[in-house]
Chains A and B, each alone.
Chain A
Amino acid sequence: MSLSAYLVAGYLVLIGCYGIVRSRHLVHAIVCLAVAQSGTYVLLVTIGYQKGARAPVFGSTTRPNRHVVDPVVQAMTLTDIVVSATVTALLLALSIQINKRHGTADPDELVALRG
């Protein structure tokens, strides 16, 4: 049981890569990359989880204590999401340009470089 969360993370990364390999459209490949990246979020949050612990935000009713989930991996997940969103935007912009220049978005038909 305790292994399954880690396995879900690994499964997401591998199934995302499998999708990229089988892809017939650049936008499909980018979505598959997003799936693979979400595996890293699952892995990070899994590492930081503690049974029965609360969110790492304190206030007037919850005084600071150590029974919280790991804030370091949560911060890293946040970083991860921001970077993946902007990189996805960059890749989508690239796909639009490729589609304009070559008239296709199928990676298998993009065989030659063209200036």
Chain B
Amino acid sequence: MTRRARLLLFLCGGGVLAALFVAGAVGMPGFGSTHHPDRDLAVPAAVSHGTANVVSAVNFDQRAIDTFGEETILIASTIGAVALLRPARGETERHPPDLGRTLESTRLIGYLLMPLTLVLGADVVLHGGITPGGGFQGGVVLATGIHLLYVTGSYPALERFRPMGAYRTAEALGAAAFAAVGAAGLIGSGSFLGNFLPTGSFGQILSTGTVQVLSAVVGVEVLGSAVVLLAAFFEQEISVRKNES
């Protein structure tokens, strides 16, 4: 198909879609209205389980099975990307060459921010049930903190700080632990991923039952996935080279 024909086809389809979308948007409840039936159901349900962060309650309690599916997508895409990024035929992994120089100020800021970012990430993961945040956000913050070592220009230090086996295991264990908590819910409350732990007093760190546990488990898995994924891309760029023949 020529580019012109493809564009014409898109304009036809896109035009129809745009018209349908506008027609649908006209019939939607007004922007900023007070009519939110699912909010009216989700907030009391979260409060009844002692979860102050309602978004986490939706993710890890009310729709936890959906998050389980999402976790599976996460692990499947990571496996797919890592499998695709293995050194291909005719390529070998070499010791990375010198990566050049970094500004002293960049290095200083990298080394200063790394521990702060790691602490912030751990805080976001561990308080996911009661303050804004949760396992997904905190896991990404933790992975970012580790990769600040790359910003400082020391790829060998990053490699030492990042034993790949441990992160691959962490990723798998995170996914398995999610399923294990779900199965424990089956025994404890009669439904898969049911919130079977005591919900404590509202607003305290141990108040949310399984929400906090699942948040931590997801944090570990997201950290593992992000590190494994970024490592695969780094290796492609830095250490995998075509054989000269």
Contact A57 B73 (CB under 8 A): no
Q: Does B117 contact A (CB under 8 A)?
A: no
Q: A56-B54, A57-B132, A72-B58 are in contact. Are A97 and B84 (CB under 8 A)?
A: yes
Taking a contact as CB atoms under 8 Å apart, the answer to whether A56 and B55 are in contact is: yes
Chain B contacts for A46, CB-based, 8 A: 31
Chain B minimum-CB-distance residue to A64: B47
A110 in contact (CB, < 8 A): no
Q: A82-B136, A93-B80 are in contact. Are A57 and B88 (CB under 8 A)?
A: no
The answer to whether A78 touches B59 (Cβ under 8 A) is yes
Q: Which one, B63-71, B107-115, B172-180, B189-197, is touching chain A?
A: B63-71
* A contact residues around B30 at 8 Å (CB): 2
> Could you say which of A22, A64, A89 has the most chain B C-beta atoms within 10 Å of its C-beta?
A89
- The interface size bin for chain A is 35 or more
Contact A93 B81 (CB under 8 A): yes
B17 contacts A by Cβ under 8 Å: yes
* Bound Cα distance from A55 to B130, whole angstroms: 13
Contact in complex: A10, B32 (CB < 8 Å)? no
A108 touches B3 (CB 8 A): yes
Set of chain B residues within 8 Å of A78, measured between Cβ atoms: 55, 59, 134, 136-137
Q: What residues of chain B lie closer than 8 Å to A89, measured between beta carbons?
A: 77-78, 81, 229, 233
Interface membership of chain B positions 31-61, coded 1 if the CB is closer than 8 angstroms to chain A and 0 otherwise: 1111010111011001100001111011100
In chain A between 56 and 115, which residues have their CB closer than 8 angstroms to a CB of chain B? 56-60, 64, 66, 68-75, 78-79, 82-83, 86-87, 89-90, 92-94, 96-97, 100, 108
Chain A, Cβ-Cβ closest to B136:
A82
Check if A50 sits within 8 Å of B22, measured CB to CB: no
A50-B36 contact, Cβ under 8 Å, with A3-B25, A97-B88: yes
| Residue in contact with A18 in the complex, picked from B14, B21, B54, B84, CB distance below 8 Å | B14
> B66–A66 contact, CB under 8 A?
no
Docked Cα-Cα span, A27 to B3, in Å, equals 18
Asked if B55 and A86 make an inter-chain contact with CB atoms under 8 angstroms apart, the answer reads no
Measured CA separation A22–B14 after assembly (Å) = 13
B42 contacts A86, C-beta separation under 8 Å:
no
Measured in the bound complex, the distance between the Cα atoms of B55 and A73 in whole Å is 9
**A residues within 8 A CB of B232?**
93
**Residue B42 contacts which of A3, A72, A82 (CB distance < 8 angstroms)?**
A72
Q: Is B225 an interface residue (CB 8 A)?
A: yes
With A68-B43, A86-B73, A96-B85 in contact, do A50 and B32 touch (Cβ < 8 Å)?
A: yes
Check if A50 sits within 8 Å of B34, measured CB to CB.
yes
Give A14 to B17 CA distance when docked, in angstroms: 8
Name 26 interchain pairs, CB-CB below 8 A, sorted by A.
A3-B25, A47-B29, A55-B132, A56-B42, A56-B43, A56-B53, A56-B55, A58-B47, A58-B202, A60-B203, A66-B43, A68-B54, A69-B36, A69-B39, A71-B46, A74-B58, A75-B55, A79-B70, A82-B70, A83-B73, A86-B74, A89-B81, A90-B84, A92-B233, A93-B85, A96-B236
Given contacts A75-B63, A79-B66, 19 further A-B contacts (CB under 8 A): A3-B25, A6-B28, A17-B10, A47-B29, A56-B43, A56-B54, A57-B53, A66-B40, A66-B43, A71-B43, A71-B46, A74-B55, A75-B59, A82-B136, A83-B74, A87-B73, A89-B81, A93-B82, A93-B84
* Chain A to chain B: the 6 pairs with minimum beta-carbon distance, closest first: A6-B25, A51-B32, A75-B58, A71-B54, A56-B54, A86-B77
